[in-house]
Amino acid sequence: MMKRFTIPVATIILMAAVEMTLAAQQSKTVADARIIINTDLGSEVISRHIYGHFSEHLGHCIYGGYWVGEDSDIDNTRGIRNDVVAALKASGIPNLRWPGGCFADEYHWMDGIGPRDQRPKMVNTHWGGVTEDNSFGTHEFLDLCEQLGTAPYICGNVGSGSVEEMSKWVEYINFDGISPMADLRKENGRDQAWGVQFWGVGNENWGCGGNMRPEYYADQFRRYATYCRNYGDNRLRKIAGGASSNDYNWTEVMMQEIPHQMMWGLSLHHYMTNWRDKGSATDFGEDEYFRTMKYAVDFGPMLDGHIRVMDQYDPRSRVALVVDEWGTWWDVEPGTNPGFLYQQNALRDAFVAAISLNHFNERCRRIKMANIAQTVNVLQAMILTDEEKMILTPTYHVFEMYRVHHDATLLPLNIDSGLQYSYGDQSIPAVSVSASKDINGKVHVSLVNVHPQEATEISLELRGMDADKVTGRILTADALNAHNTFDQPDQVHPESMLGIKLNKEMVSFTLPAHSIVVLELQ
Ligand code: AHR
Per residue in 271-294, pLDDT tens? 999 999 999 999 999 999 999 999
Alpha carbon of 34 to ligand 1 centroid (Å): 40
Handedness of CA 88, 91, 92, 96 (dihedral sign): negative
pLDDT in tens, 216-267: 999 999 999 999 999 999 999 999 999 999 999 999 999 999 999 999 999 9
Best CA proximity match to 465, nearest among 516, 417, 415, 502: 502
Q: Strand pairing of 76-77 and 80-81?
A: antiparallel
pLDDT band of residue 12 (cuts 50, 70, 90) is: very low
Best CA proximity match to 130, nearest among 209, 79, 58: 58
pLDDT for residue 3 is more than 50: no
Per-residue pLDDT averaged across 10-14, rounded? 33
Q: Strand pairing of 130-132 and 151-156?
A: unpaired
Query: What ligand 1 atom has the least distance to the C-alpha of 54?
Result: 1
Whose C-alpha lies nearest to ligand 1, atom 9?
A: 101
| SS3 state of residue 376 | strand
Verify whether ligand 1 is closer than 6 Å to residue 234 (CB atom).
Answer: no
Verify whether ligand 1 is closer than 6 Å to residue 374 (CB atom).
Answer: yes
What's residue 32's pLDDT?
Answer: 86
What's residue 22's pLDDT?
Answer: 36
Verify whether ligand 1 is closer than 6 Å to residue 324 (CB atom).
Answer: no
Alpha carbon of 102 to ligand 1 centroid (Å): 6
Verify whether ligand 1 is closer than 6 Å to residue 204 (CB atom).
Answer: yes
Query: What ligand 1 atom has the least distance to the C-alpha of 100?
Result: 6
What is the best residue among 203, 322, 380 to mutate for testing ligand 1's pocket, by most ligand atoms within 8 Å of CB? 203
Best CA proximity match to 451, nearest among 36, 10, 20, 15: 10
Verify whether ligand 1 is closer than 6 Å to residue 362 (CB atom).
Answer: no
Per-residue pLDDT averaged across 41-68, rounded? 97
Alpha carbon of 73 to ligand 1 centroid (Å): 31
Per-residue pLDDT averaged across 47-61, rounded? 98
pLDDT for residue 453 is more than 50: yes
pLDDT in tens, 461-505: 999 998 999 999 999 999 999 999 999 999 999 999 988 999 988
The Cβ of residue 347 has, within 10 Å, a number of other Cβ atoms equal to 27
What is the best residue among 208, 245, 275, 340 to mutate for testing ligand 1's pocket, by most ligand atoms within 8 Å of CB? 208
pLDDT in tens, 339-392: 999 999 999 999 999 999 999 999 999 999 999 999 999 999 999 999 999 999
pLDDT for residue 314 is more than 60: yes
| Distance, CA of 270 to CA of 359 (rounded, Å) | 13
What's residue 418's pLDDT?
Answer: 79
What's residue 6's pLDDT?
Answer: 38
Q: What is the percent of the chain where pLDDT is above 90?
A: 92
Verify whether ligand 1 is closer than 6 Å to residue 373 (CB atom).
Answer: yes
Q: Which residues pair with 19 in a beta bridge?
A: none
pLDDT band of residue 417 (cuts 50, 70, 90) is: confident
Alpha carbon of 247 to ligand 1 centroid (Å): 16
- ∠ CA 477-483-487, rounded to 5°: 120
What's residue 18's pLDDT?
Answer: 32
pLDDT for residue 21 is more than 90: no
pLDDT in tens, 95-127: 999 999 999 999 999 999 999 999 999 999 999
What's residue 409's pLDDT?
Answer: 98
| Distance, CA of 332 to CA of 480 (rounded, Å) | 19
101 preceded by a cis bond (ω within 30 of 0): yes
Q: Which residues pair with 507 in a beta bridge?
A: 460, 502
Q: Where are the beta strands (DSSP E) in 291-366?
A: 320-328
pLDDT for residue 4 is more than 90: no
**For residues 434 and 358, is the Cβ–Cβ distance under 8 A?**
yes
Cα 265 to Cα 221, 288, 322, 366, distances in angstroms: 12, 34, 6, 10
Torsion angle of the four alpha carbons 17, 23, 24, 29, in this order, in degrees rounded to the nearest 10: -80
Whose C-alpha lies nearest to ligand 1, atom 8?
A: 101
> Which phi and psi (to 5°) does residue 463 adopt?
-80, 130
Active-site residue numbers?
204, 325
- ∠ CA 40-41-43, rounded to 5°: 120
| Distance, CA of 357 to CA of 370 (rounded, Å) | 9
Handedness of CA 51, 445, 516, 356 (dihedral sign): positive
Cα 82 to Cα 67, 88, 377, 390, 488, distances in angstroms: 10, 10, 16, 11, 21
Q: What's the 3-state SS for 259-271?
A: CHHHCCEEEEEEE
What's residue 24's pLDDT?
Answer: 33
Q: What's the 3-state SS for 349-368?
A: HHHHHHHHHHHHHHCCCCEE
| Distance, CA of 487 to CA of 100 (rounded, Å) | 31
What's residue 28's pLDDT?
Answer: 66
Per-residue pLDDT averaged across 502-518, rounded? 95
CA atoms within 13 A on the CB side of 131: 4
| SS3 state of residue 298 | helix
Q: Strand pairing of 426-429 and 420-423?
A: antiparallel
- Amino acid residing at 378: V
**For residues 245 and 283, is the Cβ–Cβ distance under 8 A?**
no
What's residue 504's pLDDT?
Answer: 82
pLDDT for residue 75 is more than 80: yes
